[in-house]
Structure 1
Amino acid sequence: MTLKTNRTRRFVMAGLGALVLPGVGQAAPPQTSLRPRARTAEFARMAGGGVDALIARFGLSGDVVCAVADVETGLELEAANGTTGLPPASVAKALTALYALETLGPDYRFRTRLLAAGPIRNGILEGDLILAGGGDPILTTDDLATLASALKSAGIRELRGAFKVYEGALPFVNTIDPGQPDHVGYSPAVSGIALNFNRVHFEWRASGKSYRVAMDARTERYRPEVAMAQMKVVSRSLPVYTYEDAGSVDQWTVARGALGGGGARWLPVRRPGLYAGDVFRTMARAQGIVLPAAQITGGLPQGSEVLATHESARLVAIVKAMLKYSTNLTAEMVGMSASVARGGHPDSLRSSADAMSRWAAERFGMSGTRLVDHSGLGEESRMTPQDLVAALVNARRDDVLRPLLKPFVLRDAQGRSNKAHPITVNAKTGTLNFVSGLGGYMTATDGTELAFAIFAADTDARSRIPRADRERPKGARSWNRRAKTLQQQLIERWGALYGT
């Protein structure tokens, strides 16, 4: 591990650009002096050995980098290898949130529409019915049920043409990160339409010497079974799951020896358009409308009539939930939607992430940041702590991000949540195997507000993990646990040094 501390290095990050949202003006220059504060005896005690010594004491394999700045002045207070880029993991979602909010606006709503491409006579649609996705990352089975009811209310009783699903609002991506195991639900396909975060619910129950299995698109209200995802129980021990693209079907197998008496899990969907079409057919049938099997279309015909529209929640609410639950699909869809809205034509997650990286460099001076997706799942992404802190300082001046970040509860000496801790933190966490990140804001006991970023990664250990073992590799959990303990000690150090 190579560490280099910039304890006395100071610069004003306010000049690196300011976030501009609709109705929000340019950030004003600092109104206070940038001279360092007088330091107390407590500061001298805490500073003993420096941040290098604190990091070294943990003996964490790989690299640890960090930076912290005063939010009011933009003054960098401390950094350890602050210009070194490491994988940010889900901390990247904080940047994606800023990118989407500035580009689309906090009040933006995604629209999913039902279109009629043909005349309607006596309740019969003599042309095609199109379920047109609009990039909504939070569309659910419940929403499709509402659209099906609206279709009936529009007077449609029968379809003579084809039933099509339009998913061309965003480029199709087979999986967020090809390096992940096929069966993990956090790396599904991405396209212009999504349903239930592009996950299908697999449930099994022992029945004599065999198993009863079900694949459905459940919510709290509905449990429609799907035909486009199929599961077969196979007599083997490993691998637990296999996946095959069978054209119009996601074909899965599961090892009998791993099932036990029963259980359930969410599996990723690789054909989002067909998944949404499958479920919508079921919901339409419940309304007495029989539709043929869905076909995927890449374009929308001119002159189509809008029969019904579902609008998503406001983007700011979607982004807040994304940051709280760290949903990868939401990050990718709102990020790509922003890239498209900015006039780009991304053909992949990487090209859309490139557009966001260029935006971040122009807006915040984040010249050391290069992302390969919007969620942080891809291990090739790199972000420097000084880059992120620059963005956080600027975003705070317009009060854009901190209200959306989840409170990060510090822990006591026994590892228990300590809600009475004198330091309050709102931050985005990021966790991959042998990668741990944390970036956000902290308020010290005297009210001083700091922006910080901490990244730790052992990329060598990560590279040695076989693809099949990436869900729970040996040693990753203990490594990540130590990294999180180091994060808290860095936060407490900064609170003592710069907030007392």
Structure 2
Amino acid sequence: MITRRGLLAGLLAGVALPAFAEVIDRSPRPRARGAVAAPVPSAKGPVDSAPLIAAAKLGGAVAFVLADAATGEVLEAREPDLPLPPASVAKTVTSLFALDRLGPGFRFATRVLATGPVSGGKVQGDIVLSGGGDPTLQTDQLGDLAARLAAAGIKGATGRFLYWDGALPRTYGIASDQPDHVGYNAAISGLNLNFNRVHFEWKRAGSDWQVAVDARGERFMPAVAMVRVGIVGRDAPLFTYGNGRVEEWTVASAALGKGGSRWLPVRDPGRYTAEVFRTLARAQGIALDAPEPLGTKPDGREVGRVESEPLTEVLREMLKFSTNLTAECVGLTASGQQSLAASARAMDAWVRERFGVTVSLADHSGLGGASRITAGGMVSILGQAHRDGMGLKPLLRDVGMKDDKGRVIEGHAVKVLAKSGTLNFVSGLAGHISPPGGREMIFAIFTGDPERRDAVPVALREEPEGGKAWTKRARTLQGQLVNRWAAAWR
């Protein structure tokens, strides 16, 4: 049986075939391999990081800061004032921003409104699907919503079926410098579904292919007509995309093997959500016309709703799986701005006012390569937030202590509660080192070669040559530094 958490992980991974391996920016989850701790210094004091950095052979820059969590005293630093891309470590800043502006109990709501009374099972007017910017809405929740409406006796409407997705600014994607087919560069609107992805499945049928596109959940699997995928006999490019009334994809047959599946991005998530809801409603005996967009915030009597989990749980999942869409929806909702750039500037201003730290973020997820933050600034933000009791630490995942090969040391008493981040030739890790009964520390490590990243052609940015090996070396270095700090400063 597929669990909700399992479905979430699958949607985020977006992968069902090695040929389509998608680099998803999320916290590493190494498998246990019976690793043992490497020898580390036992004397209190700084770690000689130069040999570790030289051995990593990363190029670019390496910056880090280690500080006492209780006092803010800097214990060790290298290039603390060097601005580097934070990648998904930026989601920690977004989380603090949202907790401060929205409150930990905030919930997103997706509502169904009726513009007239219900008579004889029909709404005497329009039915409106009104989005509230929920980034976590899934097909099964829409299916259950349709079932509740049917149980309440609603069978249709005398008027139109409308949808409103204007609670958040409609955005084609988070970053303009990413390939069309990568799901982690999600479109954004006030109506979002399945992280704004459709499920594409293919199977060899003689000399041809059977293709299906749907919005599957655990219990519902509605077909999607507004996205079409064709398989074309070619080796490259892997994908082409046309953004029209119907979103048209073609896929190179050479990459497909005998069968498989993958989640592909949807660029008009409001219409996608409305189409899926219409299909699910029809299955419950509710007849709705083809959905039409509504340009202004709707009025009407609420006849049904779906709410997200409280903000703390939304953020916990976001930090664990590093979902870019969630970060952007949360940040936009917290700022109330009408563009992603303006929202990022509003968060920058909040950071300066709240923490006295200057940052320059292009978005709320860290996907944009133009974002910059210093290791010293990151530690200052996390440290002040911790001392002020802002509640971020309990939301961070224990990424584990690592040995010198980058493998988790099972059963280690020290907790490393942190957020990782990865872009092409950019890697970061920041959070708390919590030894049992010892000194708690806050750290930030940023490694990056932005020039090398920017030199990769857009079409190759999903998995550039040398990118995986570079990231592995960067993460190994992070583990080595944390390991030694935990021992040397205990």
Scaled by the length of structure 1, what TM-score is found? 0.87
Residue 396 (1) aligns with residue 386 (2): yes
Q: Which whole-Å CA distance do the structure 2 matches of 1:102 and 1:158 have between them?
A: 41
Query: What is aligned with 1:22?
Result: none
Name stretches of at least 5 consecutive residues in structure 2 with no aligned partner: 1-40
Tell me if the contact between 2:66 and 2:379 (Cα under 8 Å) persists in the aligned partners: yes
Q: Is the 8 A contact 1:364 1:387 kept in 2?
A: no
Residues 114, 308 of structure 1: 8 Å contact kept: yes
Confirm or deny that 1:180 pairs with 2:170. no
Indicate the residue corresponding to 2:446 in structure 1: 455
Aligned to 2:355: 364
Distance 1:442 1:115 in 2: 48
Sequence identity (%): 49
Question: Displacement of 1:450 after TM fit?
Answer: 0.4
Task: Please tell me whether residue 207 in structure 1 is matched to residue 198 in structure 2.
Answer: no
> Given the alignment of the two structures, is residue 291 of structure 1 paired with residue 288 of structure 2, yes or no?
yes
Structure 2 residue aligned with 1:11: none
2:150 aligns to what SS in structure 1?
A: helix
CA contact (8 A) 1:52 1:80 kept: no
| Distance (Å, rounded) in 1 between the aligned partners of 2:42 and 2:394 | 34
Residue in 2 aligned with 1:18? none
How many Å separate the matches in 1 of 2:109 and 2:436? 45
Question: What does 1:38-57 correspond to in 2, within 5 Å?
Answer: 42-43=43-44, 47=47, 50-57=48-55
Q: Which residue of 2 aligns with 1:354?
A: 345
- What is the deviation of 1:121? 2.5
Shift of 1:422: 4.5
Q: Which residue does the alignment assign to 2:166? A: 168
The Cα shift of 1:415 comes to: 4.2
| Pair 1:492-2:469 in alignment | no
CA contact (8 A) 2:109 2:305 kept: yes
Give the Cα–Cα distance (whole angstroms) in 1 for the partners of residues 403 and 480 of structure 2. Answer: 11
Q: How does 1:307-326 map to 2 (within 5 A)?
A: 307-326=303-322
- How far apart, CA to CA, are the structure 2 residues paired with 1:468 and 1:81? 33
SS at match of 2:110: strand
- Give the match's secondary structure for 1:197: coil
Q: Which amino acid aligns with 1:306?
A: E
Residue of 448, 460, 475 corresponding to 1:469: 460
Structure 2 partner of 1:480: 471
Match of 2:324 among 324, 328, 332: 328
Note if contact 2:146-2:281 (Cα within 8 Å) is conserved in structure 1. Answer: yes
What is the aligned length?
A: 449
2:374 to 367, 370, 384: 384
Deviation at 1:295, TM superposition (A): 1.2
- Relative to structure 1, the CA distance from residue 157 to residue 387 in structure 2 (aligned partners, 3 Å threshold; closer, same or farther) is same
Partners of 1:371 and 1:329 lie apart in 2 by: 16
| Aligned mates of 1:294, 1:212 — CA distance in 2 | 28
In the TM superposition, residue 417 of structure 1 has moved relative to its aligned partner by 2.0
Q: Which residue of 2 is the match for residue 140 of structure 1?
A: 138
Equivalent residue, structure 2, for 1:65: 63
Q: Distance in 1 between matches of 2:185 and 2:173?
A: 6
Deviations 1:23-52 (A, max 9, x none): xxxxxxxxxxxxxxxxx98246x64xx444
C-alpha distance in 2, partners of 1:175/1:399? 30
SS where residue 303 of structure 2 aligns?
strand
**Greater C-alpha Rg:** 1
Classify 1:84/1:414 alpha carbon distance in 2 versus 1 (closer, same or farther; 3 Å): closer
SS in 1 for 2:293: strand
| Equivalent residue letter for 1:436 | S
Cα distance in 1 between the residues matched to 2:478 and 2:95? 23
The residue number in structure 2 matching 1:428 is: 419
Q: Deviations over 1:69-104 (max 9, x none)?
A: 101111111211111111100100011111111111
Paired with 2:432 and 2:332, the residues of 1 have a C-alpha distance of 26
Ranges in structure 1 where 5+ consecutive residues have no aligned partner = 1-39, 341-345
Range that drifts further, 115-124 or 59-68: 115-124
Work out which of the residue numbers 261, 266, 274 in structure 2 matches 1:264.
261
> Structure 2 CA distance, aligned partners of 1:469 and 1:349?
25
CA contact (8 A) 1:445 1:495 kept: no
2:81·2:376 contact (CA, 8 Å) conserved in 1? yes
Classify the secondary structure of the residue corresponding to 1:448: coil
Instruction: Check 1:474–1:260 CA distance in 2 against 1; reply closer, same or farther (3 A cut).
Output: same
RMSD: 1.6
For 1:408, the equivalent position in structure 2 comes to 399
Question: In structure 2, how many angstroms separate the alpha carbons of the residues matched to 1:261 and 1:448?
Answer: 55
Q: Deviations over 1:382-424 (max 9, x none)?
A: 0111111111112222161111101011223454321233432
1:336: Cα distance to partner?
0.5
Residue in structure 2 matched with residue 3 of structure 1 by the alignment: none
| Contact preservation (8 Å) 2:401, 2:483 | no
